[in-house]
Amino acid sequence: MAYRQPAFMVEHPLAALAVSAITDAQMDNADKRALMDYRQGELAVHNISASGHFTWVDFGAAIAFNRLVMPAGHNLEGETLTISCDDASDFVGAIAQGAPVVPAGVLDHTMSSPATSLRYWGINYSGTGQWEVPEFWFGTYQQLVTAHVAHSFPNEYRYQQTQIEYPGGFAVNQLSVPRRKFALEVRTVAPADADYTLLDLVMTEGRGRPFWYWPPDDTDPGPFLVRLTKATRVQDFSVPASALKYKIKLEMEEETL
């Protein structure tokens, strides 16, 4: 459809907190942990009998977010979530951050006031039911700005299967649903650029923990929760004595655990 500069959301500040930072009368500690453990398959369960149910997080200090991402796997399709933040836990003077209607898959919501830096962040449910939620990622969406992205950026699949070959073909046993594979090559990145800082963060953090990735081709807009499988950085300027600029290559696979 159209090209866009690729983007990342690497940090997951909620995951660094203790479960006691989450306040929700309908969840025990195991459910709270499921909201912040990097795992999409482990669901937090809310048995909500009255509308207006509220889940909020004390981040311990003022912090700014510009994105909320919730992985697929929930049963909140059509539910409206009201997002707000405040400098006090009573949320009396809360600043609204939007009220997205949850889609069937990944919820990818841009905050209405990205620059707001406040300590308490909360989500209000408009309806009732037994809601199941994989995770809440409050984070910072960062898009490459000036970097030159190579025109070839694969969007493939990784298959996990066993097969036996016969004279007339193959017998295949699929072990899991195919997962996305991505590659990205960014050229002439100067160390002073913000793009270099962002890509360096991906390289240092993205192997140990999964992160969100918005690929350059918005035909499949994502975001996709991925993990690095390979990352390289080489000097790529023809006159290094004059300036150092780098070519950075990332290979990523979708994480579905």
Contact of 184 with 216, CB cutoff 8 Å:
yes
pLDDT of residue 130: 84
Q: Does the pTM of the predicted model rise above 0.85?
A: yes
Q: DSSP characters for 122-184?
A: EEEESS-EEEEE---EEE--EE--S-EE-S---EEEE--EEEEEETTEEEEEE-S--EEEEEE
Give the Å distances, CA to CA, from 173 to 9, 151, 257. Answer: 35, 35, 20
- pLDDT tens for 193-203 read 999 999 999 99
Per CATH, domain 11-139 is 2.60.120.260: yes
For residue 46, the surrounding DSSP H or E stretch is strand 44-48
**How far does the chain reach from its first CA to its final CA, in angstroms?**
29
Residue ranges of the chain assigned to CATH 2.40.30: 144-254
Contact of 1 with 221, CB cutoff 8 Å:
no
Q: Measured over all CA atoms, what is the biggest interatomic distance in the chain, rounded to whole angstroms?
A: 72
pLDDT of residue 141: 96
- pLDDT tens for 159-189 read 665 667 777 777 666 656 777 899 999 998 9
Residue ranges of the chain assigned to CATH 2.60.120.260: 11-139
Residue 5 CA to residue 142 CA, distance in Å, equals 10
List the single range of 10-14, 65-69, 123-127, 149-153 with lowest mean pLDDT.
149-153
Q: What is the mean pLDDT of residues 223-245?
A: 85
Give the Å distances, CA to CA, from 34 to 23, 44, 134. Answer: 14, 5, 7
Protein fold of 144-254: Elongation Factor Tu (Ef-tu); domain 3 (2.40.30)
Mode of pairing for the β-strands spanning 53-64 and 142-143: unpaired
pLDDT of residue 159: 65
Residue 178 CA to residue 158 CA, distance in Å, equals 6
